[in-house]
């Protein structure tokens, strides 16, 4: 594997990380920051922000780019929404990001639990805005509507990569379902911002990237994040290249020209990075 370039090396704030990690442990909560080996963990923890991951830390799908554990999922913790609201208060957050593992074992894919989490935060943490990063719910519109009816401020569903790569890297997912989730979110609730993101370095071509941007804009998606794929282990999908910061800036400008309201495109970007800023700018 090619040596990691200097622009992907970030400092680790051990003190801040331990402080937030202890709070999460005491409340029985998971953060995707740790589970997915996010490169921004140190920076975000230093600011006392974190992306909560609900419905356990075990995913029912085994995507070849992802470092979240795949296997038999845990029982749903019915106290989780209240515990997250308590953590939001203790961390004094203004903007909360809630993500989830895929729960294909549940009839609603976890949509009801996601909706309860949104409502509990809104009821107990006045003035806090909520962004959710959801599953594709296997294309079930009723499950999507359950989440939208809970009134999140931002509905995020990551497309992750061009359609041509799904068969090899995301075999248990369906590209058209993901596009449909974004399109129907806007159709059902055009007052809620929609957001998506994809990675570079998986073997995609410029032609595929630009076609993906066009199809995302056809859904009227508001916010786009573009980041570097980092291969978690030798058993994960192959890393084809490290994309330079200059190239990321090029993709950002092209995406803005295509009509996205806000674009974050740098090597270390993950879907919740600068999430509050993205929401505020997209509202303008």
Q: What is the DSSP string of the chain?
A: -PPPPGGG-----HHHHHHHHHHHHHTT-EEHHHHTT-TTHHHHHHTT--EEEES-SEES---TT--SEESSPPPP-TTHHHHHHHHHHHHT-SEEEEEE---TTSTTTTHHHHHHHHHHHHHHSTT-EEEEE---GGG-HHHHHHHHTT--SEEE---BS-GGGHHHH-TTS-HHHHHHHHHHHHHH-TTSEEEEEEEE-SS--HHHHHHHHHHHHHTT--EEEEEE----STTSPPP--PPPHHHHHHHHHHHHHHT-SEEEESTT--TTTTHHHHHHHHH-
| Domains defined for the chain, CATH in brackets | 6-283 (3.20.20.70)
- Specify the pLDDT at position 8: 84
Residues in the chain: 284
50 neighbors 43 (Cβ within 8 angstroms)? no
CA distances from 91 to 16, 34, 271 (A): 12, 17, 20
Q: Please write the tens of the pLDDT for every residue from 134-163.
A: 999 999 999 999 999 999 999 999 999 999
- Specify the pLDDT at position 36: 46
d(CA 185, CA 145): 8
Confidence of residue 29 (pLDDT cuts 50, 70, 90): confident
- If you average pLDDT over every residue of the chain, what do you get? 90
Give the residue, 210 or 53, on which the prediction is more confident.
Answer: 210
The dihedrals phi and psi of 227, each to the nearest 5 degrees, come to -135, 175
Q: Which of the given ranges, 4-13, 27-36, 191-200, has the highest pLDDT on average? A: 191-200
**Residue 129 pLDDT more than 60?**
yes
Q: Please write the tens of the pLDDT for every residue from 173-187.
A: 999 999 999 999 999
- The pairing of beta strand 95-100 with beta strand 51-54: parallel
d(CA 252, CA 106): 37
Cβ of 270: how many Cβ atoms within 10 Å? 24
- Comparing 18-27, 33-42, 109-118, 174-183, which segment has the lowest mean pLDDT? 33-42
Share of the chain above pLDDT 70, in %: 88
81 neighbors 121 (Cβ within 8 angstroms)? yes
Q: Is the dihedral of CA 77, 81, 83, 87 positive or negative?
A: positive
- Specify the pLDDT at position 13: 57
Q: Please write the tens of the pLDDT for every residue from 253-282.
A: 999 999 999 999 999 888 888 888 899 999
**Residue 14 pLDDT more than 80?**
no
Confidence of residue 68 (pLDDT cuts 50, 70, 90): confident
**Residue 240 pLDDT more than 60?**
yes
Q: Please write the tens of the pLDDT for every residue from 197-215.
A: 999 999 999 999 999 999 9
d(CA 282, CA 275): 11
Confidence of residue 30 (pLDDT cuts 50, 70, 90): confident
């Amino acid at each position: 594997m090619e040596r990691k370039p200097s622009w992907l090396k970030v400092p680790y704030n051990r003190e801040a990380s331990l402080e937030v990690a202890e709070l999460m442990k005491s409340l029985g909560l998971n953060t995707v920051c740790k589970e997915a080996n996010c490169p921004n963990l140190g920076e975000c923890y230093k600011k006392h922000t974190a992306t909560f991951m609900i419905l356990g830390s075990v995913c029912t799908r085994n995507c070849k780019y992802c470092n979240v554990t795949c296997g038999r999922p845990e029982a749903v913790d019915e106290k989780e929404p209240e515990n997250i609201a308590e953590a939001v208060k203790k961390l004094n957050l203004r903007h909360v990001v809630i993500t989830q593992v895929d729960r294909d074992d549940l009839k609603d894919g976890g949509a009801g639990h996601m909706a309860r989490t949104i409502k509990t935060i809104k009821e107990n943490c006045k003035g806090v805005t909520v962004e959710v990063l959801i599953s594709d719910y296997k294309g079930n519109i009723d499950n999507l509507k359950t989440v939208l009816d809970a009134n999140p401020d931002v509905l995020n569903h990551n497309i992750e990569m061009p359609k041509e790569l799904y068969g090899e890297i995301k075999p248990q997912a369906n590209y058209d379902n993901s596009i449909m989730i974004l399109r129907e979110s806007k159709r059902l609730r055009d007052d809620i911002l929609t957001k998506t993101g994809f990675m570079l370095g998986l073997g995609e071509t410029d032609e595929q990237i630009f076609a993906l941007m066009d199809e995302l804009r056809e859904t009227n998606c508001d916010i786009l994040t573009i980041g570097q794929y980092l291969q978690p282990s030798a058993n994960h999908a192959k890393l084809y290249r490290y994309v330079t910061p200059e190239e990321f800036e090029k993709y950002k400008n092209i995406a803005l020209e295509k009509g996205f309201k806000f674009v974050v495109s740098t090597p270390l970007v993950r879907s919740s990075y600068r999430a509050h800023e993205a929401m505020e700018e997209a509202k303008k």
